[in-house]
Amino acid sequence: MEVHPKGTRARVLLASVFGPYAQDDEFGSRRAINPMELYHNQVTRAQGAFSLRMFHRSWGIMMIQENISAPCTVLDFPTRADFARELTTNAYDIVGISSIIVNIGKVREMCRLVRKLSPHSVIVVGGHVAAVSAIESVIDADYVMRGEGIFDTGDELFDVMSRMEASLKVQNFFIMDQNFLLHRERAMQLLRRMKQAGKSWGIAVFASANAISKYTAHELVELGVSWVWMGLESLGSRYSKLQGTDTQRLTRELREHGIRVQGSTIIGLEHHTPENIAEEIENAIAHRTDFHQFMLYTPVPGTPLFKEMSEQGRMLEGIDLADIHGQYKFNFQHAAISRDDSKRFLDWAFRRDFEENGPSLYRMCRTLLQGWQRYKDYPDARVRERFARETVKLRTAYTAALWAMEKQFRGLSESVSRDIRALRHDVVKEFGSARIAAIVGGPLLLWTSRREEKRLQGGQTYEPPMFIERRNWGGASA
């Protein structure tokens, strides 16, 4: 491993790519589809005013900053001008840039700016963008970092989570492991430590259906699993994650135990055709997950699928890397579905899920209520405490939202509107004070949701605020 000559005295700037993100520009941003806004882009984008609008922080560079002793600045969601100003204001020895593949054009421009404004700086690029083949010939960086870190044991994970709880005052965690529950020994070791310390943490995880099935519902609940992101690949696909698992039954059982489920369905698998795709989508929607991600089958640089498609000569030429996020059109030649039809089927899947199952916020409220009713008297105090904490918004803001959703949905689906009304009555029956929230907040939220619909139809987009955080800075100039 090469060490900078200044060692821990080297000044480090860690940055995400610059914005704005939700507008067309020369660096690859797209107004219609903003991959930086994960939920609205990939999950709730057809839900209008009820879509989740949030930007996730760049956790990778934040974690690096917390684990180095050198003076370090994190610049998250800067504008191009912000990034340039930071380079000229402070003499950085190392500049690290983190990005996903679709933003490679912005990485290239940031490297150019560093060479121009801070030529002595060493440039390090990492993140998903590092998977692009021969990226060193596309961007002017000194180092491209590939790979990721892992926690081998539940003890290690518990210690990290405990430190985060103490320093950040948080009790909910998203564990970024592609199949966390697959390693049962690690998960159960974490559970033992949580019980010993009386931790009522809530945990969101990625997990396959087969891995989830290795646990009882009570084990998952006691572990604090409150949110599961689970693949619902077609039963006719060549993947084996779902073999022997009834995912509709599993989804129903998880929700009955208060565990919110985010399903993930791939559109455009090799066996999909215009004749069977509607049936595939309807099967996915029938899972009635709290949230549902639909993604196009997409060969991404650095993956075996991309290599296979390239060798078969099926990769389409002239497709900008900024458009291969799986939410626009195919970037390869499908045997039966055209590139334009891929977008049509994808958009239809999002609309059907919304029309049939209602807003994700409504579905989540149902799951929260079911979890509370099942576990409010559970013997383990940690579990009771977590469900009490998770239902605070259900008793207040969410009940008001249910009132607004019920009225808003009457014109789209009377049956869904009735279901929302029935749930609201159940919430009020369980939490008497929720009635006041519905009466006071409901009409206000209905008005603001209708105003938001008009704004969205008029082209309103959202951008995240910039975050600038310095650590070990001492007397360094800001």
Contact 15, 95 (CB under 8 A): yes
pLDDT digits (tens, 9 = 90+) for 422-461: 999 999 999 999 999 999 999 999 999 999 999 988 888 8
Give dist(CA 96, CA 10) in Å, integer: 13
| DSSP, residue by residue, 238-306 | S--TTTT--HHHHHHHHHHTT-EEEEEEEES-TT--TTTHHHHHHHHHTT--SEEEEEE----TTSHHH
Q: Which residues pair with 351 in a beta bridge?
A: none
pLDDT of res. 148: 67
Give dist(CA 106, CA 125) in Å, integer: 12
pLDDT digits (tens, 9 = 90+) for 33-85: 777 888 998 999 999 999 998 899 998 999 899 889 999 999 999 999 999 99
**What's the average model confidence in pLDDT over 201-229?**
97
pLDDT of res. 478: 40
Taking 60 as the threshold, does the pLDDT of residue 241 lie above it?
A: no
pLDDT of res. 30: 75
pLDDT of res. 364: 98
Question: Phi and psi for 37 in degrees, rounded to 5?
Answer: -105, 85
Which value, to the nearest 10 degrees, does the dihedral of the CA atoms of residues 183, 184, 187, 189 take?
-120
Contacts of 151-155 spanning 24+ positions with Cβ under 8 A: 151/177, 151/186, 152/186, 153/186, 153/189, 154/185, 154/186, 154/187, 154/188, 154/189, 154/190, 154/191, 154/192, 154/193, 155/189, 155/190, 155/193
How does DSSP classify residue 461? Answer: -
Contact 173, 201 (CB under 8 A): yes
What's this model's pTM, rounded to 2 decimal places? 0.90
pLDDT digits (tens, 9 = 90+) for 298-322: 999 888 999 999 999 999 999 988 8
Q: Give the pLDDT band of residue 134 (cuts 50, 70, 90).
A: confident
How many whole angstroms from its chain centre is CA 461?
A: 19
pLDDT digits (tens, 9 = 90+) for 1-17: 688 999 999 999 999 99
pLDDT of res. 295: 95
pLDDT of res. 477: 44
Q: How many CB atoms lie within 10 A of CB 153?
A: 14
Q: Give the pLDDT band of residue 245 (cuts 50, 70, 90).
A: confident
**What's the average model confidence in pLDDT over 104-123?**
96
pLDDT digits (tens, 9 = 90+) for 149-192: 667 899 999 999 999 899 889 999 999 888 999 999 999 999 99
pLDDT of res. 147: 74
Average pLDDT value over all residues in the chain: 92
| DSSP, residue by residue, 149-217 | ----SHHHHHHHHHHHHHHH---EEEE--TTGGG-HHHHHHHHHHHHHHT---EEEEE--HHHHTTS-H
Largest interatomic CA distance in the chain: 68
pLDDT of res. 242: 53
* Helix 414-430 × helix 339-357 angle, to 10°: 50
pLDDT digits (tens, 9 = 90+) for 410-421: 988 999 999 999
Taking 70 as the threshold, does the pLDDT of residue 240 lie above it?
A: no
Give dist(CA 190, CA 154) in Å, integer: 4
Percent of the chain surpassing pLDDT 70: 96
Taking 90 as the threshold, does the pLDDT of residue 133 lie above it?
A: no
Percent of the chain surpassing pLDDT 90: 80
Report the candidate in 8, 3, 166 with the shortest Cα–Cα distance to residue 72.
8
Report the candidate in 426, 349, 466, 433 with the shortest Cα–Cα distance to residue 45.
349
